[in-house]
Amino acid sequence: MMKKFLLFLLWCPVFAIAQINTDRVMMIARNALYFEDYVLSIQYFNQIINAKPYLYEPYYFRGIAKINLDDYSGAESDCSEALQRNPFVVGAYQIRGLARIKQSKFDGAIEDYRMALKYDPENTTFWHNLTLCHLQQNDYKSANDDLDHLLAISPKYPKAFMMRGEIALHQKDTVKAVTNYDKAIELDKYDPDAYIARGSIKLVQNKYKDADNDLSEAIKLNGKNPSLYINRALARFHLNNLRGTMNDYNLAIDLDPNNFIAHYNRGLLRAQVGDDNRAIEDFNFVLKIDPNDMMATFNRGLLRSQTGDYRGAIRDYTTVIKKYPNFIVGYNQRAAAKRKIGDKNGAELDEFKIFKMELGQGVVRGKRAIPQKTRRKSDKDINNYQKIVIADEDDDSGEKYKSDYRGKVQNRNVAIKLEPMFALTYYEKESEMTQQIRYYKYIDRINSTKSLPKKLIITNNETALNEEQVKFHFKDIDDNTSAIARNDKDAIARFSRGVDFYLVQDFSNAIEDFTQAIVNNDKLFPAYYMRAISRFKELDYKKSESEKDGNNQKQNKAATESEVKIEISEYDIVKNDFNKVIELAPDFQYGYYNLANLQASLKDYKSAVANYTKAIALDKKFAEAYFNRGLTNIYLGNNKQGINDLSKAGELGIVSAYNIIKRFIDKAK
């Protein structure tokens, strides 16, 4: 009953605002924020603001949550509230600056980044964003001045040269732009943006071989962008590599099935090689997207005529002629089609119309030709129906390098890292890759009893709760509390409430409930499993906060010897729980996998490899185990074994493995 009372105090702002433990709620709220559970964290921060509206922290952290939910106005307002209470919070200027950028309030953003730099003058992120704000205002002198400061602080910062290249492009100096992109690639040969930017210039300069090489490198590093394949297809088209061109359009359509340019251009190429029926399919698709595209309509008419569908061809030609009544090629083709179906009078009328136009205007008859030139997508000149389509210059489709602002999510981490642990939960994120069904007989047996509020799943792709789910789990905590009050020996009720607490990021209460479930039933291995994960997450959050404090106070050295021992002993508790899981469920591959993750995080790489191997022995298609074993082998210097595992992980669906392979393949030779 005590827990239910505490929960009542926590969630009853009208009667008990002053009684909540704001320090504890702040810890839970920041847990939720750290694990990207933004909706939930906002609810916790609301409680603190209601209780102690004079604190700056809940406004600041709520601002971070809101900006991650694309609520830019709300984030700006919260950071302003935080700065009213404490004008020295550098991060609040950073987040408000970014929120203002997203609302095109560049003057305000510039003011914020200048204030942030006043307190932290060597912060590369602030200089980066300030530069991009000046770029947005076409203030190239200020942008270059910003970059001078940035490079004085960090002379090997590749993005500075990327921005210098962008400034040069705006000033029509492609030679200087390429020089800067060359330097960016020299400093970071694994950044696809640099290759994209340089490749785009090479395309414009008609240096198609160089463009092909640069775009191929970008694709190796980021193969998920359909625009890269479309641009490389253009380079290959000009190199007369029609097979490669066609393959690139196929790949672009695989990634983006609704891509207009890829379908249109593939239709032209299929027509060129005589694959008329499939070319018609492409133009049908284009016309489904845009029924008023006359060039696609005319090309389909030509193909219908080629395949003997003369009446269909005549319908298409007629549609185009109504829109372009002086289009001689259209009359010519329609006359030929009418003769094929025996409509001699109709054909003669079209031919007479052509004669009058040629006589009056000196127009030369058009003819079908292999497409050799390009046109912009917005070009509506019907005479360009045979030309390959390229994107408009202002098309925001992502085919060129785009400047990115830094600092949206608590310093975005782009480091190579292990796939996360598998948890027992009710929700998982949708994924582009085919989700493997994670099955284990004991978990299925628990689900079949319907003793839990939802179906328990095994996933390492956890998702944040939405508002409805947050309310559901707080209600379920109440329901389970009542059940426990009636029978405090009910292990499943304890386990169920532990999962609820885990989902609302209250790890301390989750650990307590899982512990009580174990006391009631020491064979309930999911309780050991979830207790270990809850404690590991709690330690992960504490470690991140400790590292942040260490970075902010460089004079403070690492923790004292006694503090280190305490931390190691806490990790030992996690390890013991995973070992107990393996003892109770020796065929549960996720026990070995999670134990290996723990060992890898503690730099015990040899033990980690051994346990990943045990997990793989139980499940030959365990992609995450191959991926993590591959990385761990690389950490040990066993690059060849690591690359083999990463290749298998990529084959099984973890496409980021290929990027890592490229980074380490030279070292493996």
> 74-83 pLDDT, tens per residue?
999 999 999 9
* Cβ atoms of 609 and 629 closer than 8 Å: yes
Instruction: Spell out the residues 6+ positions from residue 594 whose beta carbon is closer than 8 angstroms to its own.
Output: 421, 422, 529, 532, 533, 578, 581
Give the H/E segment covering residue 459. Answer: strand 457-459
* DSSP assigned state of 405: -
- Confidence tier at 264 by pLDDT (50, 70, 90): very high
Helix (H) or strand (E) holding 375: strand 374-376
Asked whether the predicted pLDDT for residue 372 surpasses 60, the reply is no
Indicate if the pLDDT at residue 13 is higher than 50.
no
Burial of 248 (0-12, 13-18, 19+ CB in 10 A): buried
Q: Tell me the whole-structure pTM to 2 decimals.
A: 0.72
Do residues 627 and 646 lie in contact, with contact meaning Cβ atoms separated by under 8 Å? yes
Indicate whether 15 pLDDT > 50.
no
Domain assignments of the chain as residue spans, ordered by start: 423-548+564-668
Average pLDDT over residues 93-112: 95
User: Which superfamily does 423-548+564-668 belong to?
Assistant: Tetratricopeptide repeat domain (1.25.40.10)
pLDDT at 365 over 60: no
Mean pLDDT of 320-340: 92
Percent of the chain at pLDDT above 90? 70
What gap in Å lies between CA 269 and CA 230, rounded to an integer? 13
Q: Which residues pair with 459 in a beta bridge?
A: 423
- Nearest CA-CA partner of 266 in 290, 296, 293: 296
What angle do helix axes 192-204 and 174-187 make, rounded to 10 degrees?
Answer: 150
Give residue 662's pLDDT band: very low, low, confident or very high (50, 70, 90).
confident
Which H/E stretch holds residue 353?
helix 344-361
pLDDT 10s digits, 297-317:
999 999 999 999 999 999 999
Q: Which of the pair, 67 or 431, is modelled with greater confidence?
A: 67
Q: What does pLDDT average to over the chain? A: 87
- pLDDT tens-digit map of 196-211: 999 999 999 999 999 9
Which residue, among 113, 153, 116, has the nearest Cα to 133 in the 3D structure?
Answer: 113
* pLDDT value of residue 542: 84
